[in-house]
Amino acid sequence: MPKSILIVGAGLSGAVIGRTLAEAGHRVTIWDARDHPGGNCHTERDAETGVMVHVYGPHIFHTDDEEVWSYITGFGRFMPYKNRVKTTSNGQVFSLPVNLHTINQFFGKTLRPDEARAFIETQADTSITDPQTFEDQALRFVGRDLYEAFFKGYTIKQWGCSPTDLPASILKRLPVRFNYDDNYFFHKFQGMPEDGYTAIIERILDHPGITLRLKTRFDGSQRGDADHLFYSGPLDGYYGYDLGRLGYRTLDFDRFTYDGDYQGCAVMNYGEEAVPYTRITEHKHFSPWETHEKSVCYREYSRACGADDIPYYPIRMVEEKALLAEYADRAAAETGVTFVGRLGTYRYLDMDVTIREALDTARLFLSVEADGGSMPAFVYPPL
């Protein structure tokens, strides 16, 4: 028997859940407060330069999940793309993540891989046996000089706090390589959608069982006669922030154009604290198969997220986790609603993980439905 499903958010979470349920015969309505689908993955052509712009920050698709790769590439062509990030520090340009080129250039050496490994071990603070903080993780694995050049200032700007207050897990996202591999990610599948992410998400949403309503904000009280709600908006927003706001970092993008090639690469980080932005992204380099004379770039600044700002990075420190636990307990007692995605579960999720979770969530709904059971408030709990 077809059910009436309401989904809040037309990002990857909402689109993938909506498509899976529509294909199973349910009637799906998706609301999004913005005037476009795609959530934070949204891309659009810049009117002045014709360049495909990643409006809410650069997005590179990378995954080891074969099903997710086959799913997303079923909705549009992905072009080969490797993220090769550079960083400027102390008046020089280096390669990131830290690799053999970075190490040799930084220390003025010509080390081979095993020599570099041994050399970095002499730089490392081996008295740190079980690093808990970002700073300890850096000191243990790359030593003070590389930490101060590439990580300390950037991290203070990005997170607005000392690296001694951040968990080691944030730095663990970045590898240290003792070869010349400068690929930022190490996943089996990587690529960039030929027509941008929004075109892909529009195709996911393009199903007769799906009705999309843009510029429509959900305030928690408009469930109507929906049999089930999948909510990918902010968890605290669902409750009108009545216990307080979960902390996020937001980003400001300062757009500028350039006649030609501004920096020769897509992403240039700035490791020094004295430079107020964290990085400059030059968007035509995200589509290396296209040709554009003019260029559009964004200087990216990170700051605390206010009530009217777009929440980007969940902070998830001790204070936020305590508040999160309160909201999560409340949500867990709900029936007829499932909280999903990066905002609904207050977690940083890469796109491939978002798709994996959305597919699993929709499939669970279908099997629970078939068994006459009830859907949990969280398939992926926030804590």
Active-site residue (options: 45, 66, 329, 348): 348
Active-site residue (options: 140, 279, 342, 347): 279
Q: Where are the alpha helices (DSSP H) in 124-223?
A: 134-141, 143-146, 153-159, 169-172, 197-205
Residue 51 binding target from ligand FAD, ligand UDP, none, CB below 5 to 8 Å by type: none
Binding part of the chain for ligand FAD, among 28-36, 123-131, 134-142, 170-178 by CB under 6 A, reads 28-36
Q: Look up residue 80 and give its two tokens.
A: 């080969």
User: Strand 228-231 to strand 337-339: parallel, antiparallel, or no bridges (unpaired)?
Assistant: parallel
Q: Does 81 bind ligand FAD (CB under 6 A)?
A: no
Among 30, 174, 268, 355, binds ligand UDP (CB under 6 A): 174
Closest separation between CB of residue 244 and ligand FAD, Å? Answer: 18
CA atoms within 13 Å, Cβ hemisphere of 187: 21
Q: Does 173 bind ligand UDP (CB under 6 A)?
A: yes
Q: 30: which strand partners?
A: 7, 212
Active-site residue (options: 27, 34, 203, 249): 249
Rounded to whole angstroms, the Cα distance separating 353 from 159 reads 23
Work out the number of other CB atoms within 10 angstroms of the CB of residue 369.
18
**Residue 288 identity:** P
Residue 162: φ, ψ to 5°: -75, 140
Among 134, 119, 140, CA closest to 166: 134
Q: Using N-to-C axis directions, what is the helix angle for 351-371 and 66-73, rounded to 10°?
A: 100
Residue 87 binding target from ligand FAD, ligand UDP, none, CB below 5 to 8 Å by type: ligand UDP
Does 217 qualify as catalytic in the annotation? no
Among 167, 122, 128, CA closest to 320: 167
Instruction: For residue 269, give every residue at least 6 positions away whose Cβ sits within 8 Å of its Cβ, in sequence order, or none.
Output: 85, 86, 87, 88, 96, 150, 154, 278, 279
271-310 footprint of ligand UDP as x/- string (CB under 6 A): x---------------------------------------
223-252 footprint of ligand FAD as x/- string (CB under 6 A): ---------xx---x---------------
Q: Does 218 bind ligand FAD (CB under 6 A)?
A: yes
Q: Does 187 bind ligand FAD (CB under 6 A)?
A: no
Closest separation between CB of residue 312 and ligand FAD, Å? Answer: 4
73-112 footprint of ligand UDP as x/- string (CB under 6 A): --------------x--------x----------------
Among 324, 351, 377, 379, binds ligand FAD (CB under 6 A): 351
Q: Does 339 bind ligand UDP (CB under 6 A)?
A: no
Does 115 qualify as catalytic in the annotation? no
Instruction: Give, rounded to a whole angstrom, the gap between the first and last alpha carbons of the chain.
Output: 34
Residue 20: φ, ψ to 5°: -65, -40
Among 40, 43, 95, 155, binds ligand UDP (CB under 6 A): 155
| CA distance to 81, 199, 239, 308, 355, per residue, from 84 (Å) | 9, 25, 41, 33, 24
Closest separation between CB of residue 268 and ligand FAD, Å? Answer: 15
Binding part of the chain for ligand UDP, among 123-131, 154-162, 202-210, 317-325 by CB under 6 A, reads 154-162
What value does the CA radius of gyration of the chain take, rounded to a whole number of Å?
A: 22
Nearer to ligand FAD, 69 or 147 (CB): 69
Residue 378 binding target from ligand UDP, ligand FAD, none, CB below 5 to 8 Å by type: none
Does 64 qualify as catalytic in the annotation? no
Q: Look up residue 104 and give its two tokens.
A: 């040799």
Residue 231: φ, ψ to 5°: -115, 115
Element (DSSP H or E) covering residue 43: strand 43-45
Closest separation between CB of residue 31 and ligand FAD, Å? Answer: 5
Q: Look up residue 244 and give its two tokens.
A: 């307080």
Q: Which residues bind ligand FAD (CB under 6 A)?
A: 8-14, 31-34, 39-41, 57-61, 217-218, 232-233, 237, 312, 341-343, 349-352, 354
Catalytically active residues are 173, 177, 249, 279, 300, 348, 350
Q: Which residues bind ligand UDP (CB under 6 A)?
A: 87, 96, 150-151, 154-155, 158, 170-171, 173-174, 269, 271
